[in-house]
Every structure is written in structure tokens, then in C-alpha cells.
């Protein structure tokens, strides 16, 4: 990143010539209007979205993003600043390489300011009391509602209708704050500007008056309203407290950076603040690409100088030219037979994103199996493909059964070297996920105590076999990067829906986007050997019934699959309450199971009863019945 001078109404300001846009997430009533004016001073109208004209045309309010979507490619490529009441979840997928910045404010003060603003300026609230407005906001009836800071910063897509827990929203918002290039605290406005000046190299020129809505509340009235509001603001309070800690951490780190001259208002000194010689010296300092040494901010931020040296383009230019790398490719599309029944097979390295991929296919309308464990691996296919030499007849019978029942179905087959068996399936399509190999090796080390270097070597070999197979089988294949999917989830969601021939509706996108997340808690817990070790006690083991109890070390319910002579005859979750277990384990003793078996499926004699843990396929109990 480098700074250059620009001609603008503020002669002392400098502009940010960045490899990507600056995106300001303007949370209402956080001193954002003042900061936006300061931030936008050095730019021309064509470089800002929305600019003054677009705001004026929208009745002096920020326009919806459909206005941005209608911009010409040349205008998009020219943008250097996006600033408005846009949530991080709206901005991040469109501008994944942007420098993100925001301001936060004490939740009580911010909410009181919003309540008074609504009463003064929104007709529907003109005759309402402050208490009535708070009640409306608590029900989500206001434009912004309560806990607005958390909802603006959390990576929650606008059309996701699935309710999320308070903790999910707070954690997501805190992650956003941690990864932002710059954050400000309204109560420490001058310090915030000074910190951005010192760490980001931004020169904001002359100070502007901090504009906040006057509250005009008596002390007693404020105390009354605060008592009503405070119980609703738990999420925002957590996020604000975290932001203050992060701000203090960055302020402390900034002390280790080379000093940058500031005037009394906390802004970079300009030529007017010093002698001619000093001005030249300060100007040389301002031209340094200072963000390269920044100890915080979003990963992947690249300087203009670096891009020019390597011949790369800025993301906005890539979007305009159609050359943006989405990390997605489709091989052999001519082999697709649209409208016909199709099978989708997930390939990839173990712990390389195949679970997320299988869940995406399931949400996209592809049947991926029943009684699946947290790893989303169909037990029927997993049992066959885990064998060194799978039973070809059983495999083909299972495929024929699925073909007769479903028009779109699939299964997960990570690292299985049964390539001839897979390629023999009629109208099969492959979905192949690629993930950073060090991350995979590290996950193997954490989950199964694998040797890191040995795991890396094994991954390289397995990856090569997958690539060789995909290159030789001449079947349709969707290839995508796991890391790119996390960075730009909308891209992979649209591509996957297109590949499986499912209409790209808001509901479908909502379902897929809810799946795309790193370190999904249930999956991580399932990979911890200390957490998922299971004990089982069988009280009854007959052809027509099995009963007993099973418990994981962490107390989580255990899903069980029951087999007779290799045939799955039922499944059950060990979650029935038992008084005898309550005394031993507590928690209501909810670890019992009792399953009635259809005897028509059982052999007449000599049957082998097997009970498996469906989360990993391990055998918990085995007995030969008389």
C-alpha cells in the first residue's frame, strides 16, 4: 500500500491508493457520519459508492446494493471507497480483498441515540414514548433493531432465515473485528484517528467536528431508559467490550511502529504544520508503504506496488475484466447429460473439506444417505469402500437401489482408491475439494496424533492419485478450493447449484451459505479422540430386540446402527432416560436405548449381531446369536 497526494477540497489530505477498496461498515449512531466525511474527502465522486448524488437520489439515505449491482464495469473498477449502512455480510462476498474499517460505540449510548433519532425523524414513532420504541426495536420492528453493532459485523447473510444463537452472532462479530484492517471507538474518536494515522498511513487532513445526536435527557430519565434497555444489549455489550480490548491491543502495538508526526488534533502533520524542510521530510514518510509491516488486519491484503511488480490486477479490475480467480473449475462439462438422473461423488483428502462438501450437496437437493454421522459419510457406501477389495456385486446392487429411488443422489468417497468401481457408475459426476495440505496434516496431528511430515507426504501422494483419476476418467467434475469457498461462499454456492441443476433461489442459497464455515463445532468435537470414546452395555441381545445403554466420554448422545449378519436392520439413538444411570452419570441418565428388530430381515439361525457407532463406524458390540 502506498500513499500519494491528490487534489481535493482538502489540500492537506492524502488518499489511499490500495490494491483493493476501503470498505467502511457504518453502524448507525457510532459517529460514522463524521468519519465518513473525513475518509471520503480525498476522493472524487466517481471513486466513492455511494457518492453524494446517489445518496441525494435516494432521499438522502444510503441506497440499496441493487444500485451498486447496476454500476458499469468501468465505474466499479474505479471505486476506491465503499461506505454506508451496509452489513459486513453484504460487503465481504463482493469485496473479499478490501480493507475493512468500522467504528463502535457504547451500546447504551448508541441505542439511546437511535431511539431519540427515530422519535424525531421517523413518522411512525413521532407519537410513541421512548419505552414503546424500545419495545418495538426489541421485537425487531425497527429498521435496525437492538444489538445493531453485532448484527452489522457478524458474517450472517441477509437472506438466511435460520435463527442463530446469541453466541454465534457475538463470536462472528468478534472475529470480524479481529480481522478488520482498522477499528475505531466513538468515545475515543481522536485516539482512533491517531491510531489509523499511525498504523495505516492515512492522512485525514484537518480535523472535523465530531457530530453526534444530542440526547437531551435528564439524568433521571436516562437512568430509567437505561434500566429498560440494558437487559436487551447483552450481545452488543460483549462485542463492544471485545472491541475496546482489541483497540487497546492495537494502540499498544502501534507504539512499536516508527513515530509519525501529529498535530494537536491527532492528525498527521501537513506542510502547513511545519517548516518547508520538515514538510518534505514528513512527505517522504507518508509515501512509505507502511501497511506491509502492520501487525494486524485481514490476511491477503496486498499493496499496489506488489501488484504492479508481479503484473497482478486489483480485485475490482479483475471483476471488471472477468479475470477474477474464484478457485472454481469445471472439467469435461460436455459429458454432462442435463435433465437425466445423476450421481454425485465427493472426492478429496481426509479432513480436507469433504464433510462440508457432502453437506452442501445435501442442502442443494442431492440425497447423500441416511443415518449419517457428523462426517456426512453414508454408512452403506462407507462400509463397502473401506474394504481393501470391495464386493463389486454389493456395490452395484446398492447403486441400482439408489438409482431406482432417487434422481439425484450421491456419496462421499474420500481417498478411496477404487477408481474403476467409481467410474463404472452410470452418469456419475465428481465434486472434488482441494485444501491447504499443511492444514490437513495439522488436523491429522490434532485428531489422531499423526506425524506431521509423514502426513504431508501421504497427502501429496493421495492428491496426485485423485488428480490423475479426474484427468483420465473424462467424467464431469467440479473442482474448488476450500479456502476460496470460505472467502467467497457465494461463488461456490452458485457454482454448485448450477452443477447439480438446482435453481438458484434465495432459499437454496440460504441453506448452502449456512453450511460454509471453518471449524464447525460438531465436526471438531467429533475429531477429538478424548471426547468421543464410547462405552456400551447391552442388557438384551435377541433377533427381535436389542436394549441397553451407551455413553460418550463427553456425555453427548450416541447414535447406533444395528446389523444382523452384515445387514443393517435398524438404528437408534441412545438418549432414553434411565434412573439407574442418573445416579452414576447424572444428566437425567439419558443414555438408554431399546430397538425392536424386524425379524423378517434376520437369518433363521447363526446370525451375528453387531452394534456400531454411526459417527465413525467403529464396532461397539458383537455377538453370535443362537
Percentage, residues of the chain above pLDDT 90: 18
Q: What's the pLDDT at 23?
A: 92
Q: Is the pLDDT at 208 greater than 90, yes or no? A: no
Q: Is the pLDDT at 156 greater than 60, yes or no? A: yes
Q: What's the pLDDT at 108?
A: 92
Q: What's the pLDDT at 244?
A: 92
pLDDT tens sequence across 410-466? 998 875 567 888 988 999 999 999 999 898 888 777 765 567 787 788 788 888 889
Mean pLDDT of 18-30: 80
Instruction: Label residue 412 exposed, middle or buried (CB < 10 Å: 0-12, 13-18, 19+).
Output: buried
Q: What's the pLDDT at 603?
A: 60
Q: What's the pLDDT at 179?
A: 87
Q: From the CA atom positions of the chain, what is the Rg in Å?
A: 29
* Residue written as grid cell 460505540: 105
Question: Which element (helix H / strand E) includes 167?
Answer: helix 166-179
Cell numbers that stand for 431 in this block: 465434486
Number of H helices, E strands in the chain: 27, 20
Domains of the chain: 2-105+143-209+238-293 (no CATH), 328-526 (3.40.50.300), 529-624 (2.60.40)
- Residue of 259 and 61 predicted with greater confidence: 61
Q: What's the pLDDT at 552?
A: 78
Q: How far apart are CA 446 and CA 92, in angstroms?
A: 30
Mean pLDDT of 392-420: 86
Percentage, residues of the chain above pLDDT 70: 74
Q: Is the pLDDT at 281 greater than 50, yes or no? A: no
For the chain, the average pLDDT equals 76
Q: What's the pLDDT at 213?
A: 52
479-499 burial code (b ≥16 CB/10 A, e <16): bbbbbbbebbbbbbbbbbbeb
Q: Is the pLDDT at 158 greater than 90, yes or no? A: no
The alpha carbon of residue 345 and the mean position of all alpha carbons in its chain are separated, in whole angstroms, by 24
Count of beta carbons in the 10 Å neighbourhood of residue 132: 13
Asked if residues 262 and 268 have their Cβ atoms less than 8 Å apart, the reply is yes
Instruction: Report cis status (omega within 30 of 0) of the bond before 411.
Output: no
DSSP string covering 360-385: HHHHTT-B--SS--TT---HHHHHHH
**What's the pTM?**
0.46
- Residue of 351 and 309 predicted with greater confidence: 351
The values of phi and psi at residue 439, to 5°, are -60, -40
- Residue of 21 and 15 predicted with greater confidence: 21
pLDDT category of residue 1 using cuts at 50, 70 and 90? very low
Q: Is the pLDDT at 67 greater than 70, yes or no? A: yes
Crossing angle of helices 189-200/234-254, nearest 10°?
50
Measured CA to CA in angstroms, residue 103 lies from 188, 192, 452 at distances of 10, 9, 42
Q: What's the pLDDT at 285?
A: 28
Cell numbers that stand for 516 in this block: 460454509
Q: What's the pLDDT at 295?
A: 33
List alpha helices for 488-553, DSSP H.
489-499, 506-515, 521-526, 529-532
Q: What's the pLDDT at 107?
A: 93
CA triple 552-553-558, angle to 5 deg: 10
For the ranges 39-43, 384-388, 476-480, 569-573, the maximum mean pLDDT occurs at: 476-480
Q: Is the pLDDT at 151 greater than 70, yes or no? A: yes
Q: How far apart are CA 357 and CA 444, in angstroms?
A: 19
Question: Which element (helix H / strand E) includes 194?
Answer: helix 189-200
Count of beta carbons in the 10 Å neighbourhood of residue 596: 11
Q: What's the pLDDT at 210?
A: 53
Q: What's the pLDDT at 125?
A: 83
Q: Is the pLDDT at 592 greater than 80, yes or no? A: yes
List alpha helices for 406-451, DSSP H.
419-423, 437-448
Dihedral sign for Cα atoms in the order 424, 425, 428, 430: negative
Which pairs from 526-533 meet CB under 8 Å and 24+ separation? 526/373, 526/374, 526/375, 526/615, 526/616, 527/351, 527/443, 527/446, 527/447, 528/447, 529/447, 529/448, 529/449, 531/556, 532/556, 532/615, 532/616
Q: How far apart are CA 262 and CA 439, in angstroms?
A: 43
- Residue of 606 and 460 predicted with greater confidence: 460
Q: Is the pLDDT at 267 greater than 90, yes or no? A: no
Q: Is the pLDDT at 6 greater than 80, yes or no? A: no
Lowest mean pLDDT among 5-19, 34-48, 68-82, 84-98: 5-19
End-to-end CA distance of the chain: 77
For residue 611, give the DSSP letter: E
Q: What's the pLDDT at 169?
A: 81
Cell numbers that stand for 402 in this block: 439408489
| CB proximity list for 326: less than 8 A, separation 6 or greater | 484, 488, 491, 492, 495
* Residue written as grid cell 472426492: 347
Q: Quote the strand ranges of 8-62, DSSP E.
A: 14-17, 22-25, 48-49
Instruction: Using DSSP, state whether 538 is helix, strand or coil.
Output: strand
Pseudo-torsion of CA 4, 10, 11, 13, nearest 10°?
Answer: -30
* Residue written as grid cell 521530510: 281
In DSSP terms, 571 is beta-bridged to 561
pLDDT tens sequence across 517-558? 776 655 555 555 555 568 888 999 888 899 999 887 766 678
Residues recorded for the chain: 626
Amino acid at each position: 500500500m502506498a500513499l500519494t497526494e491528490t487534489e481535493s477540497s482538502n489540500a492537506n489530505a492524502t488518499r489511499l491508493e490500495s490494491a483493493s477498496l476501503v470498505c467502511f461498515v457504518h453502524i448507525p449512531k457510532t459517529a460514522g457520519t463524521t468519519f465518513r466525511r473525513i475518509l471520503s474527502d480525498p476522493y472524487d465522486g466517481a471513486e466513492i459508492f455511494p457518492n453524494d448524488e446517489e445518496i441525494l437520489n435516494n432521499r438522502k439515505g444510503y441506497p440499496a446494493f441493487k444500485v451498486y449491482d447496476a454500476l458499469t464495469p468501468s465505474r466499479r473498477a474505479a471505486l476506491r471507497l465503499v461506505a454506508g449502512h451496509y452489513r459486513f455480510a453484504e460487503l465481504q462476498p463482493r469485496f473479499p480483498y478490501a480493507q475493512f474499517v468500522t467504528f463502535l460505540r457504547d451500546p447504551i449510548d448508541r441505542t439511546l441515540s437511535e431511539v431519540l433519532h427515530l422519535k424525531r425523524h421517523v413518522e411512525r414513532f413521532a407519537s410513541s414514548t421512548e419505552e414503546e420504541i424500545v419495545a418495538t426495536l426489541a421485537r425487531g420492528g425497527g429498521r435496525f433493531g437492538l444489538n445493531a453493532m453485532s448484527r452489522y459485523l457478524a458474517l450472517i447473510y441477509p437472506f438466511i432465515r435460520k435463527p442463530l444463537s446469541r453466541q454465534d452472532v457475538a463470536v462472528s462479530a468478534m472475529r470480524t473485528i479481529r480481522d478488520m484492517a482498522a477499528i475505531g471507538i466513538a468515545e475515543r474518536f481522536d485516539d482512533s484517528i491517531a491510531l489509523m494515522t499511525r498504523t495505516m498511513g492515512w492522512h485525514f487532513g484537518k480535523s472535523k467536528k465530531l457530530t453526534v445526536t444530542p440526547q437531551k435527557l435528564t439524568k433521571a430519565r436516562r437512568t430509567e431508559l437505561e434500566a429498560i434497555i440494558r437487559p436487551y444489549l447483552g450481545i452488543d455489550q460483549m462485542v463492544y467490550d471485545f472491541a475496546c480490548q482489541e483497540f487497546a491491543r492495537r494502540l499498544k502495538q502501534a507504539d512499536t511502529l516508527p513515530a509519525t508526526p501529529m498535530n494537536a488534533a491527532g492528525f498527521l502533520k501537513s506542510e502547513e504544520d511545519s517548516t518547508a524542510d520538515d514538510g518534505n521530510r514528513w512527505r517522504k514518510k507518508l509515501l512509505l508503504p507502511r501497511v506491509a509491516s502492520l501487525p494486524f488486519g485481514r490476511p491477503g491484503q496486498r499493496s499496489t506496488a506488489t501488484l504492479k511488480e508481479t503484473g497482478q490486477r486489483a480485485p475490482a479490475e479483475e471483476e471488471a475484466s472477468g479475470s477474477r480467480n474464484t478457485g472454481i473449475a469445471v472439467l469435461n462439462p460436455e459429458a454432462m447429460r442435463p435433465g437425466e438422473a445423476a450421481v454425485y461423488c465427493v472426492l478429496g483428502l481426509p479432513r480436507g473439506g469433504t464433510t462440508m462438501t457432502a453437506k452442501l450437496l445435501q442442502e442443494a437437493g442431492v440425497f447423500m444417505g441416511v443415518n449419517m454421522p457428523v462426517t456426512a459419510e453414508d454408512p452403506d457406501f462407507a462400509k463397502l469402500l473401506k474394504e481393501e477389495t470391495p464386493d463389486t456385486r454389493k456395490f452395484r446392487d446398492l447403486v441400482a437401489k439408489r438409482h431406482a429411488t432417487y434422481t439425484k443422489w450421491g456419496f462421499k468417497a474420500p481417498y478411496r482408491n477404487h477408481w474403476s468401481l467409481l467410474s463404472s457408475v452410470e452418469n456419475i459426476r465428481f465434486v472434488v475439494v482441494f485444501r491447504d495440505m499443511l492444514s490437513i496434516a495439522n488436523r491429522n496431528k490434532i485428531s489422531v496424533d499423526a506425524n506431521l511430515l509423514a502426513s504431508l507426504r501421504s497427502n501429496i501422494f493421495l492428491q496426485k492419485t485423485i488428480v490423475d483419476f479426474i484427468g483420465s476418467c473424462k467424467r464431469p467434475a467440479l473442482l474448488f478450493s476450500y479456502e476460496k469457498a470460505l472467502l467467497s461462499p457465494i461463488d461456490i454456492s452458485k457454482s454448485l447449484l448450477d452443477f447439480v441443476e438446482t435453481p438458484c433461489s434465495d432459499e437454496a442459497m440460504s441453506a448452502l451459505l449456512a453450511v460454509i464455515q471453518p471449524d464447525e463445532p460438531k465436526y471438531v468435537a467429533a475429531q477429538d479422540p478424548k471426547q468421543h470414546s464410547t462405552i456400551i452395555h447391552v442388557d438384551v441381545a435377541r433377533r427381535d430386540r436389542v436394549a441397553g445403554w451407551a455413553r460418550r466420554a463427553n456425555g453427548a448422545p450416541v447414535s447406533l446402527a444395528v446389523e444382523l449378519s452384515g445387514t443393517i436392520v435398524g438404528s437408534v439413538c441412545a438418549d432414553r432416560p434411565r434412573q439407574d444411570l442418573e445416579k452414576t452419570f447424572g444428566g437425567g441418565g439419558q443414555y438408554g436405548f431399546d430397538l425392536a428388530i424386524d425379524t423378517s430381515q434376520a437369518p433363521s439361525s447363526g446370525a451375528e449381531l453387531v452394534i456400531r457407532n454411526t459417527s465413525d463406524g467403529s464396532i461397539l458390540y458383537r455377538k453370535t446369536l443362537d
